């Protein structure tokens, strides 16, 4: 059994690689839900959907969110009726949000709905939200505190990032699937996917039992760096690290995950500064352009983790 | 001021004709909400939408419901996630349902939302639900009692119709807009549109104050027959009338509206049996193929009503 902690695109890609090299039912992908929010009365859970769509082969690779071959008739009609246009919901993507919202309102857990959707889309691995309890990432910026999606999408990460807090995290329990994976006797390895450490992985670690279980782990935990050549492959991670006075480097990442990881996978472009991390390293090509890249990086990372003592 | 009571397609067409021949703000169209239901967690109000889309020029004339140029990506994706497929929601139409549901959940009334949507879509007349309180048409059939949409869409009106009841009607108040129109000193005429008398008009009349106000009217009330040549132009009205032991004739319609109307507009095809209605008649072409037909029938009906004593 493998447990992977994942955010959006980068996490989804490595998770898809893991799914490609592992037997069905042997990978649990625990996904950040700090980005979740209500929009137009619908419960949107972006990272869970990105992981689900990617493993189902339905993801929109150009956009980095939503479904491929997406159409926008709903948004056009909604704007004519006064809906805000800053968060786009594709016609196909909308089905996920509408059906999830209906089931949540009927009392079903996000875990149960996520598992059902994954099964219906033919996904053989376990996708679990980090928690079924609401955790909401709130970004303190030079324009004041903004809910995550206001900062990330509406304001396009333009306000200077000061601090993030995870409202509700202190009371949140890990989802049953994440807890089962953490306590699973057959657990071999924990992976932290190449997701934004501050926005995507920190919310998962903010759920108290998760950090505790990780600190008390009996199996190796390895992080794959989201940085290549001292910057982020995608998204605002480098900008945010800079605004926090941090570098987009292996050493800064090792600091971020101090005590939680036993090794670090970094890109060849950062090989010269890898030793500053003070951790066992796998230096390889971490850019995942296609599914072959995803599977190769997943296999190399698993082999590296298996080589580490714990 | 004109008040029109309307159901779906036929009602929407005459309402559109009225809008075409009357000054802005002088027609109130009170729409049946007995067909409303919750589906996929969304509040659907089919007749209100048909009237709104028709007056906005957005209606799908082929289907008789939903928006023109509609696409179905949402439905396709929703069915893949396990959603029922028997009630189709187009991608554009869905915007209405999602935004209405959000606003209803936030405590806004159906009246207020309907008025706002109409204004945003450039509609100059007043479209009001018959009530902001829930009234649900329940159809007693030879297969037992079915909620309206189960009978009408899922079972395609196939079960034999025995009786209709309007759950909640006894406690329902007319919407503020309908009540204002009924009490309006400047009210000139009340029209009952060529909608199904049993499924579409009866629910409106089942709201206690509506029937009372209509019975106490000081202005002429005229019904336009939905029947042409002893059958219904569209929909299951003739089948239902037959199952109730009634004919699709002017006389049966006059019985249905006994005491509530002062005149009847019937098609030339029923001219030979018009006198059986025992009411003043306007015999004309009632089939509304296009907007010119709608305006002509609206104008003729208004002139006929104005000629009646009250």
Query: Closest partner residue to A94 among B70, B74, B121, by Cβ?
Result: B74
Span B100-110, pLDDT tens digits: 999 999 999 99
* Contact status of B171 with chain A (Cβ, < 8 Å): no
B133-146: pLDDT as tens digits: 999 999 999 999 99
According to the model, what pLDDT value does residue B8 have? 87
pLDDT of residue B133: 97
Neighbouring residues of A62: CB distance < 8 A, sequence distance ≥ 6: none
Nearest CA in chain B to A83: B99
Percentage of the residues of chain A whose pLDDT score is greater than 70: 100
Contact (CB, 8 A) for B86 and B44 = no
pLDDT band at A62 (very low <50, low <70, confident <90, very high): confident
Nearest chain A Cα distance for residue B28, angstroms: 21
pLDDT at A11 over 90: yes
pLDDT at residue A186 above 90?
Answer: yes
pLDDT in tens, B160-192: 999 999 999 999 999 999 999 999 999 999 999
Residue A234 has a pLDDT of 78
- β-sheet bridge partners, residue B128: B30
- On the question of pLDDT at B64 being above 90, the answer is no
**pLDDT band per the 50, 70, 90 thresholds, residue B258:** very high
pLDDT at site A71: 96
Quick check: B272 pLDDT over 80? yes
Structure tokens at B23: 């000054």
- Give the pLDDT score at B161: 92
- Tens digits of residue pLDDT in A118-139: 999 999 999 999 999 999 999 9
The pLDDT score that the predictor gives to residue A183 is 94
Chain B closest CA to A257's CA: distance in Å?
Answer: 37
Q: Check A99 against B116: CB less than 8 A apart.
A: no
The confidence score (pLDDT) of residue A46 equals 96
Residue A262 has pLDDT above 90, yes or no: yes
Chain B contact for A80, CB < 8 A?
A: yes
Domains delineated in chain B: 2-36+47-55+110-306 (3.40.50.10680)
Q: Which pTM does this prediction carry?
A: 0.94
Is the confidence at residue A59, as pLDDT, over 80? yes
Q: What is the residue-averaged pLDDT of chain A?
A: 95
Give the tens place of pLDDT for each residue, A87-110.
999 999 999 999 999 999 999 999
What span, in angstroms and rounded, lies between the C-alpha atoms of B111 and B179? 12
A98 and B92 within 8 Å at the Cβ level: the answer is no
Q: Average pLDDT of chain B?
A: 95
Whole-number pLDDT of residue B310: 73
Residues 106-125 of chain A whose Cβ lies under 8 A from any Cβ of chain B? 106, 116-117, 120-121
Instruction: Provide the pLDDT for residue B249.
Output: 95
DSSP code string of A8-28: SHHHHHHHHHHHHHS-TT-EE
- Residue-wise DSSP of chain A: -EEEEE-SHHHHHHHHHHHHHS-TT-EEEEE--TT-EEETTEEE-HHHHHHHHHHTT-B-TTTSSSBTT---HHHHHHHHTT---SS---HHHHHHHHHHHHHHHTT--HHHHHHHHHHHTT--SEEEESBSS--EEEEEEBTEEEEHHIIIIISTT-SPEEEEEEETGGGPPBPHHHHHHHH-TT--EEEE-SS-IIIIIHHHHTSHHHHHHHHT-SS-EEEE-SEETTEESSTTHHHHHHHTT--SSHHHHHHHTTTT-SEEEEEGGGGGGGGGG-S-EEEE-----SHHHHHHHHHHHHHHHHHS--
């Amino acid at each position: 059994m493998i447990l992977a902690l994942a955010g959006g695109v980068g996490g989804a890609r490595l998770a898809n690689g893991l799914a490609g090299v592992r037997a069905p039912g042997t990978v649990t992908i625990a996904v950040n839900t700090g980005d979740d929010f209500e929009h137009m009365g619908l419960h949107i859970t972006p990272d869970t959907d990105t992981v689900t769509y990617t493993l189902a082969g339905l993801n929109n690779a150009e956009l980095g969110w939503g479904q491929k071959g997406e159409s926008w008739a709903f948004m056009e009609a909604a704007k004519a009726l006064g809906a805000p246009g800053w968060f786009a919901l594709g016609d196909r993507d909308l089905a996920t949000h509408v059906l999830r919202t209906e089931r949540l309102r009927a009392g079903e857990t996000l875990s149960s709905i996520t598992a059902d959707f994954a099964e219906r889309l033919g996904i053989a691995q376990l996708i679990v939200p980090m928690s079924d309890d609401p955790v909401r990432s709130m970004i303190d910026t030079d324009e004041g505190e903004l809910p995550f999606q206001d900062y990330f999408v509406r304001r396009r990460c333009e306000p200077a990032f000061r601090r993030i807090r995870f409202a509700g995290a202190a009371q949140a329990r890990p989802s049953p699937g994440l807890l089962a994976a953490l306590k699973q006797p057959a657990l071999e390895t924990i992976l932290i996917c190449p997701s934004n450490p501050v926005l995507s992985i920190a919310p998962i670690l903010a759920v108290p039992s998760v950090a505790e279980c990780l600190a008390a782990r009996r199996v190796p935990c390895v992080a794959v760096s989201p940085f290549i050549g001292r910057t982020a492959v995608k998204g605002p991670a480098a900008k945010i690290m800079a605004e926090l006075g941090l570098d987009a480097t292996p050493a800064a990442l090792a600091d971020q995950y101090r005590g939680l990881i036993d090794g670090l996978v970094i890109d060849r472009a950062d090989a010269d500064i890898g030793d500053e991390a003070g951790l066992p390293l796998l230096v390889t090509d971490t850019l995942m352009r296609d599914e072959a890249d995803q599977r190769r990086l997943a296999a190399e990372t698993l082999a590296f983790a298996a080589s580490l003592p714990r």
